[in-house]
Amino acid sequence: MQGGGVLLIATQQRLLAIDVTKLGISRYSHAKFPPLPVVKVFNFVEEGYSFGASFFKWESKLYMVGGETTRSGASKEEHCRPVGSSFDLDSRVSKPSRDIFVSNLTTLDSISEFRNHSVTMSTEKPSPILAEFEGKIYVLSGPSRRCDYSLETPTFEVYDSSLGQMEPLPDPPFYINNNYNSYYCVVARCSVVGSSIFMLVGGHYYRYRIQDKKWDERKYAMDNIPVQIPMLPGFGGQLVPGYGDIFICFRFNSLIAVMLRSDGGRPFQYINEVFDPCYRPDSFSYNGLVVSMGNHEMCIVKPATAEARNRDRSVVYVATFRVEKLYSSPPACNSDDSEQPQPQPPTPRPFVSITCLSKGFYDLETWGRETPKISGAFFHRWE
């Protein structure tokens, strides 16, 4: 891998900094798994910050947004209890937060040196969903871990760094009658396509038009939405840096490269080189993320199950790889106003070459006792 940098992985209460130069191609072992080469662990809940805060990286700054502040006097054991345990969640959180914190990504130590941002959100934002467009951060309230919490409006707002202020935006149509804890109101994933933000909610897609500052009144099914399907939320993908028409994403439990063609076609190619032959996905596998690292390099981070000493263990699978396009394609069509693409069969001709730089299973000891749920992952190259 070219140059030095860190892979930042965020969970509901920890931020891990991983030295990617120390990742290698490790062989699967039934005896034990190596630890992740974590060079810094920041438990922001133990440090007094909000449980379930969301993170966002922009240029050389890292933002920590919203979440739920912990109850005053809560013990370390309460903070570290995994979601789904018999411990009462209401005892470890007090109220959602409207705060924004920021740190500089200049040195390893500065990553965790968060300070209050000069701007706070208009309303509290538990489990916030974040999206970025042209340097603006869009923030939507997510579900609270307190069953008695009432949704505050505006639920949706945007931070404009050029103006240094928050702007309230229209509430989404799926937050009906202040009910946002049901399946039909919880946002599963979101992504920015062209100049629109798409959110996957209750098996349907909702579209917010950034330029018009309004939500579409209708909801979309996957088969009638006017965008390239792999770029929709739920696929967890990223464009390859330097290639505007090659998109890497998950398809069920597989990793694929998709060529985004201007005629709406989307031939794809399986990327099997990055998986260990013993890789076996589990129910957490849909939480995997694809991370762009620059210089045509990509990374995947994916919780999984693997067998060690005759029992299944929760582990994390990490792989880094370089993508090389083998031939040119017509100009990519990334606009969200393109014509409805027609389904295309897989192309028999490979259009990318994959060089695996590292891959392997790693122990989750640095996760602590919480469920291995990844809320965000970013790569930052030191300048």
- The per-residue pLDDT string of the chain (383 residues; one tens digit each, 9 = 90 and over) reads 455 789 999 988 889 999 999 999 887 776 678 888 999 999 998 888 988 899 999 889 999 999 987 655 554 455 444 444 444 444 455 678 999 999 999 999 999 999 999 999 999 998 899 999 988 999 999 877 765 567 788 999 999 877 788 999 999 998 876 555 566 778 888 999 989 999 998 888 999 999 999 999 889 988 788 778 888 887 778 999 999 899 999 887 788 999 988 777 788 999 999 988 776 655 444 467 899 999 899 999 987 766 666 666 777 889 999 999 997 654 444 445 544 544 555 445 899 999 999 998 888 776 665 556 788 899 998 87
DSSP structure class, residue 275 = S
Query: What span, in angstroms and rounded, lies between the C-alpha atoms of 144 and 340?
Result: 36
- Helix, strand, or coil (residue 284): helix
Q: Tell me the two tokens of residue 325.
A: 């396009």
pLDDT of residue 369: 58
Query: What span, in angstroms and rounded, lies between the C-alpha atoms of 333 and 304?
Result: 34
Enumerate residues 6+ apart whose C-beta is below 8 A from 322: 295, 296, 297, 298, 354, 355, 357
pLDDT of residue 290: 93
pLDDT of residue 1: 47
Question: Mind giving me the DSSP string for 170-239?
Answer: PPPTT-BTTB-SSTTTSEEEEEEETTEEEEEETTEEEEEETTTTEE-SS-B-GGG-SS-GGGSTTS--EE
Query: What span, in angstroms and rounded, lies between the C-alpha atoms of 61 and 47?
Result: 20
Query: What span, in angstroms and rounded, lies between the C-alpha atoms of 260 and 262?
Result: 7
Q: Tell me the two tokens of residue 295.
A: 């210089």
CATH number for the domain spanning 260: value is 2.120.10
In the chain, the amino acid numbered 326 is L
pLDDT of residue 309: 66
CA atoms within 13 A on the CB side of 265: 12
Residue (of 16, 27, 5) closest to 359 by Cα position: 27
pLDDT of residue 302: 84
> Domains in the chain: how many in total?
1
- How far does Cα 302 stand from its chain's mean position? 11
CB 196 within 8 A of CB 336: yes
pLDDT of residue 196: 94
Q: Tell me the two tokens of residue 127.
A: 């489990």
- How far does Cα 7 stand from its chain's mean position? 13
Domain hosting residue 277, numbered range: 5-381
Helices (H), ranges, the chain: 76-80
Q: What are the CA-CA distances from residue 319 to residues 229, 272, 367 (Å)?
A: 25, 11, 18
CB 259 within 8 A of CB 266: yes
Residue (of 369, 222, 230, 357) closest to 295 by Cα position: 357
In the chain, the amino acid numbered 365 is E
In the chain, the amino acid numbered 356 is C
Respond yes or no on whether the N-terminal peptide bond of residue 154 is cis (omega within 30° of 0). yes
Q: What are the CA-CA distances from residue 62 to residues 91, 152, 212 (Å)?
A: 29, 26, 28
Respond yes or no on whether the N-terminal peptide bond of residue 331 is cis (omega within 30° of 0). no
268 bridge partner residues:
258
pTM for the predicted model, two decimal places: 0.83
pLDDT of residue 322: 97
Query: What span, in angstroms and rounded, lies between the C-alpha atoms of 279 and 235?
Result: 19
351 φ/ψ sector (left φ>0, alpha ψ -120 to 50, else beta)? alpha
Give the DSSP H/E element, type plus range, for residue 6: strand 5-10
How many CB atoms sit inside 10 A of residue 220's CB?
A: 16
Query: What span, in angstroms and rounded, lies between the C-alpha atoms of 286 and 378?
Result: 18
Q: Give the CA angle between residues 295, 25, 291 to the nearest 5°.
A: 35
